[in-house]
Structure 1
């Protein structure tokens, strides 16, 4: 009988070689590199859809407000004058709180007082960040620096004040570089209704989104939806504009690779603000039209149609955009 020694038995391999391990790691790295952009795109698509739904709800709230009172809220309230957006004036925001299920917050408000100037004015409406007002693609969620008497939270959704400055359609602060603006659906110290929208509800902007600054000076003019001086945008600049905003007070850094993107307005008028619609969505911004629909507007839109969308009664035929 043939005998086999113990040393003659065949042993199978139980481990990878170094080369095999490096090949597996390289393959995994390639797969991750291929899949990560797709995952990021899917996440951004979900965030953009959430942003769209939130603007849809805000547009519905405005329609319910209009059905209840026969008009939209004023672009500003309590400035004791026809023109200019006072730094302490209420905006549209406080008035629609009951229509976005914020009755408790609304009950804290006294519109006979200016919103700023004392720690108890404006209540939670001045300081609380509402998820419904925050675009998930913008991860900067801040309250302003400064004293409790003036501090405000900054939100992403703002209304359209026209196609030039916040005082579009109301001289003397309605011109920007010689361009005479036309009023949007919101104007200072006045209330518009849908009948005033002679260009058609589907051709006129109601809301857009803006980027809240990553760093800001005390009492910025951007995203203070509770205070009229920071509660809007205009269509003078295109969506995601390269050009600077022009405001009475500038933020320090808009974030990302954008930097300040702001020029201090020389005469410090609260109503002369020019703020562009901006978002972190690649390629454009979400907007709500006055008919309640929500669209994604590409940043490549021609400037004239974009400006015409900001006006409620300029008589321009917009066409495709």
Structure 2
């Protein structure tokens, strides 16, 4: 009898299969409830890092301005006497010493075009710079193809105005009949803070773009070292459904976005129309010319968004 009681107690010392299944189900429900919160917390941290990086770029721009009395040119070498065309330098090379990249800067020679030779541009052309990469965009790629034409692709770009990259440079500044006003960066020009008559807090300096999910051969999106890939405009609202218009299209932005690009009929990079885009849910981070950084919703109205891209259109922006 005693042996029977002991055996009975031993047989009830563990969980039954039903009990185990109930426990597993409860754990599964808890994970399902917690996972979105964990993902949101991680994205919030990534967005904060992205905000801080744009803040540093804005401060670097102000330090450059304090040193030289103007911002870097939107491009250098596109006109006479260099005529580099699509291989013109962008603002990126000029600002390197102000983001603690002196070694990169010392390798540059602005009196020769950046591409077309394996040694031109040095590390600045090929090295992915963490300060220029939004952590929410995990592509982090370099272009494929011949070494002398490869560039690393980055997320942070400057505002060329409210139409195309030639905004403010008539007669090349029109998109679908809309005549654009210059932003804080203009091809072959150096703007100063005094040129921002709309107010520094009402004018964009930087925003972000999505780099293509697949490698591209000599594209024109995110090549921040070269003027044709170093900017965005406010002609399209953030994360717009409409296609960018580029002189060389990317093949795939990733996720469900696809190519999101219409190739321009000619090869004038100044005709590029690039929307600010990010993987942050609901909008993009932007740095204003006063050095502040804020998040702008993708539902922002078109008119105030375009006015934010122009430095001197004289329009009252209001809430956005």
Greater per-residue helix proportion: 2
* Pairwise CA distance, 1:5: 4.0
TM-score (norm 1): 0.96
Residue 226 of structure 1 pairs with residue 225 of structure 2: yes
Residue 26 of structure 1 pairs with residue 25 of structure 2: yes
Spell out, residue by residue over 1:22-42, the C-alpha distance to the aligned partner (whole angstroms, 9 max, x if none).
101100000000000000000
Larger CA deviation: 263-272 vs 73-82: 73-82
SS of 2:305's equivalent in the other structure is helix
* Pairwise CA distance, 1:173: 1.8
Distance in 2 separating the partners of 1:147 and 1:115: 14
Residue 302 of structure 1 pairs with residue 295 of structure 2: no
- Where do residues 51-130 of structure 1 align in structure 2 (5 Å cutoff)? 51-81=50-80, 86-130=85-129
Distance in 1 separating the partners of 2:147 and 2:215: 16
Spell out, residue by residue over 1:200-241, the C-alpha distance to the aligned partner (whole angstroms, 9 max, x if none).
000000000000001243111100000000000000000000
Distance in 2 separating the partners of 1:121 and 1:95: 15
Distance in 2 separating the partners of 1:15 and 1:7: 18
* Pairwise CA distance, 1:268: 2.3
SS of 2:76's equivalent in the other structure is coil
SS of 1:126's equivalent in the other structure is helix
SS of 2:21's equivalent in the other structure is helix
Q: Which residue of structure 2 aligns with residue 185 of structure 1?
A: 184
Distance in 1 separating the partners of 2:147 and 2:316: 47
Structure 1 residue runs without a partner (length 5+): none
TM-score (norm 2): 0.97
SS of 1:291's equivalent in the other structure is coil
* Pairwise CA distance, 1:278: 0.2
Distance in 2 separating the partners of 1:218 and 1:24: 53
Q: Which residue of structure 1 aligns with residue 3 of structure 2?
A: 6
Q: Cα RMSD between the aligned structures?
A: 1.3
Distance in 1 separating the partners of 2:315 and 2:63: 28
Seen in structure 2, the aligned counterparts of structure 1 residues 143 and 63 have a Cα distance that, compared at 3 Å, is same
Structure 2 residue runs without a partner (length 5+): none
SS of 2:104's equivalent in the other structure is helix
After superposing on structure 2, the runs of 4+ consecutive aligned residues of structure 1 that deviate more than 2 Å are 4-10
Q: Which residue of structure 1 aligns with residue 166 of structure 2?
A: 167
